[in-house]
Amino acid sequence: MRFKPRIGLAEGYPVPELPPRLREPHPTSKGPNRPITMTHPFTCPEDWTKWLSEGTSTGLQMAMVTPTYLKDEPELETGGAASAMIYFSGPVSGSFFLNMDKEALLYLAGEMLMEEQKEINEDVIDALGEIANLTAGATKDVLQAAGISVEGISVPSVMLGSSFQMFHTPDTRLQSVTFTLEGMDGLPEDKRQFSINVALAQPGAPL
């Protein structure tokens, strides 16, 4: 991929704006840098939304893109036509799934490559994998800082097309956060969205 990195990013790059219910710590939150058991990891979904938002924002710094939070829910979003999958490994393992429509992919790839993209080609596919790698890596770091033992990530796998379903084992916990992208004037909102989906499980953990 003819990737052109951008430099000169200021510290404290903005995290996507969240609604008021997500701006304050959840009353039962473990807080930063304290271990969190995976028995019921999504007891505080507000925390998970903030963590995934922070990881996504940090990962997209290279493209100078700040996504806007749209919604969160405890299930996977797989309706977009372009996806990338990365696996988490460690005491807590699972997957990181990035999903979007063609229009959002072309926009993000164009920002990454610093050149407008009009069709899906090899460079765009490489850019999708790199976007997944950056956002998954940043999310892993955020989860580690929160005390969740995710230690490594795999290389990304890219999928085109939306005619598939994903299934997980019963002890898997799911969280999806959907964002919208600015700078795509003239397109309906559903074409300007992408979702970050995380599925985590600890082997042997009870439900």
- Over residues 125-170, the pLDDT tens digits come to 999 999 999 999 999 999 999 888 899 999 999 999 876 677 777 7
What pLDDT was estimated at residue 40? 43
Query: All domains of the chain, ordered by start, with CATH?
Result: 72-207 (3.40.1550.10)
Helices (H) and strands (E) in the chain, counts: 3, 7
Is 0.85 surpassed by the pTM of this model? no
With vertex at residue 197, the alpha carbon angle to CA 194 and CA 203, rounded to the nearest 5 degrees, is 170
pLDDT tens per residue, range 50-103: 899 999 999 998 778 889 999 888 767 677 889 999 999 999 899 999 999 999
Task: For residues 94 and 71, give the distance between their C-alpha atoms in angstroms, rounded to a whole number.
Answer: 22
User: 110, 177, 105, 100: which is closest to 139 by C-alpha?
Assistant: 177
The amino acid present at 115, given as its one-letter code, is E
Summarize the confidence of residues 31-60 as an average pLDDT. Answer: 67
DSSP readout, 100-135? Answer: E-HHHHHHHHHHHHTS---S--HHHHHHHHHHHHHH
Higher local confidence (pLDDT), 110 or 15: 110
Task: For residues 143 and 96, give the distance between their C-alpha atoms in angstroms, rounded to a whole number.
Answer: 12
Structure confidence at residue 44 as a pLDDT band (50, 70, 90): low
What pLDDT was estimated at residue 177? 92
User: 58, 62, 89, 93: which is closest to 196 by C-alpha?
Assistant: 58
